[in-house]
Structure 1
């Protein structure tokens, strides 16, 4: 029996890399994204393609129904889709903050709700939630993004306890700095929202700091392999922390007090 994997945000970055690896490993892979045309390369390699907008309930329902109609089972769900909305808390419109939660938490949760009954009936399954080291640490101007990832961490822990009785694993992957489109999009958001207001001075430092780290970021393929491992290894860990600065920063956050960690973060922006 060929196992079926469903990956959101498969049109680029970590989702695309993971899809390619699982295809090579012999899984039947379905990739979902808003930009279906960007998944043509993977479709040519044998991946099924599903249109999905995590801000639209009807789109989520249709995506899961389409997959189940074709395969009747889902063995692996990788909740990878998400983005970073950056800007000062004062200046980010609440509507944008709500959209950040809609994509990164509520859309992800709705999709998971719809997949769980099938996994329960199978008495097996693996749900892999792509969080971030940003679910354990914090940085200036990422309040809404960090809030969604902190939420995802706690949500995943509760889900893991609930689904254990049905033979369903819940795993969290926490990427550090990765070479994807994510960073550029987040910094453009930051400059647009807060680049010319009262926070401009610190914003410019954050953007400059991001520019200096671009060459140090972890290749996306490394995370693709890590996510694929988290999705397929027989006995998964509850969390996988991987990528540039992930382990040192999360370690420091764990052991340093709030004020010391604050100073450490701000000292990098002088």
Structure 2
């Protein structure tokens, strides 16, 4: 049997980077993907393959999948980890930013899923791992747009699991809590930028403090 192949998005840091290393330890040929290849030096040093990938760009997604298939002939695991948290009140957040968050967190993941599924169906096997969040099960003030993407990801994943089970494909949802990555600081900066003044300023201050101090695991 050929060596199994995994594609991990958002692999330049945090959960994606750690996942890539773990999959390599398990014997997978790992492709780490992110917008900036220069931030994946650790993966390259560990002899993993890296790809420049913008999940919101259909041509970029298509090229990444085609390259993996051309080089290995298969994709066994897709880890949809690329995403970010855009915090701010529903009222304050520009709709263009809200749409962008859905483009990255939802449509980016589904675009890759659509591209890899024909290959997994042909193999009669495969696993799609969608990195959701506890934010897909609960909600907080000033996180509505982010929570919306994660609730959507949960629903899509659960429906997809039923659809692809007859083809030997599994769909897994991971729901992390607070983890020591760049995510919390970026989200905190964003909530202060969007809602740090005006009607929601007091809430923004409290939410930013929580985001920066809410790490429970490493």
Normalised by the shorter chain, which TM-score bucket? over 0.9
SS in 2 for 1:22: helix
Shift, 1:212, TM fit: 4.1
Number of the residue aligned with 2:21: 20
**Contact 1:129–1:171 under 8 Å retained in 2:** yes
For residues 53 and 134 of structure 1, what CA distance do their matches in structure 2 show?
24
CA RMSD of aligned residues (A): 0.9
For residues 137 and 156 of structure 1, what CA distance do their matches in structure 2 show?
17
Residues paired across the two proteins, number: 217
Number of the residue aligned with 2:155: 154
- List alignment gaps of at least 5 residues for structure 2: none
Moved more, 75-84 or 202-211: 202-211
Matches within 5 A, 1:138-177: 138-177=139-178
Matches within 5 A, 1:93-132: 93-132=94-133
Relative to structure 1, the CA distance from residue 41 to residue 199 in structure 2 (aligned partners, 3 Å threshold; closer, same or farther) is: same
For residues 175 and 153 of structure 1, what CA distance do their matches in structure 2 show?
13
- Asked if residue 137 in structure 1 is aligned to residue 138 in structure 2, the reply is yes
Shift, 1:211, TM fit: 4.0
Moved more, 50-59 or 186-195: 50-59
Number of the residue aligned with 1:265: none
SS in 2 for 1:86: coil
- Asked if residue 57 in structure 1 is aligned to residue 53 in structure 2, the reply is no
Deviations 1:143-194 (A, max 9, x none): 1100000000000011000000000000100000110000000000000010
For residues 209 and 164 of structure 1, what CA distance do their matches in structure 2 show?
39
For residues 104 and 18 of structure 1, what CA distance do their matches in structure 2 show?
18
Matches within 5 A, 1:120-269: 120-214=121-215, 217-219=216-218
Deviations 1:88-130 (A, max 9, x none): 1111100000000000000110110000000000000000000
Relative to structure 1, the CA distance from residue 63 to residue 194 in structure 2 (aligned partners, 3 Å threshold; closer, same or farther) is: same
- List alignment gaps of at least 5 residues for structure 1: 220-270
**Larger Rg: 1 or 2?**
1
For residues 98 and 47 of structure 1, what CA distance do their matches in structure 2 show?
33
SS in 1 for 2:61: helix
Number of the residue aligned with 1:68: 69
For residues 107 and 119 of structure 2, what CA distance do their matches in structure 1 show?
20
For residues 12 and 207 of structure 1, what CA distance do their matches in structure 2 show?
21
**Contact 1:23–1:46 under 8 Å retained in 2:** no
For residues 179 and 59 of structure 1, what CA distance do their matches in structure 2 show?
29
User: What TM-score, normalized to structure 2?
Assistant: 0.97
For residues 194 and 74 of structure 2, what CA distance do their matches in structure 1 show?
43
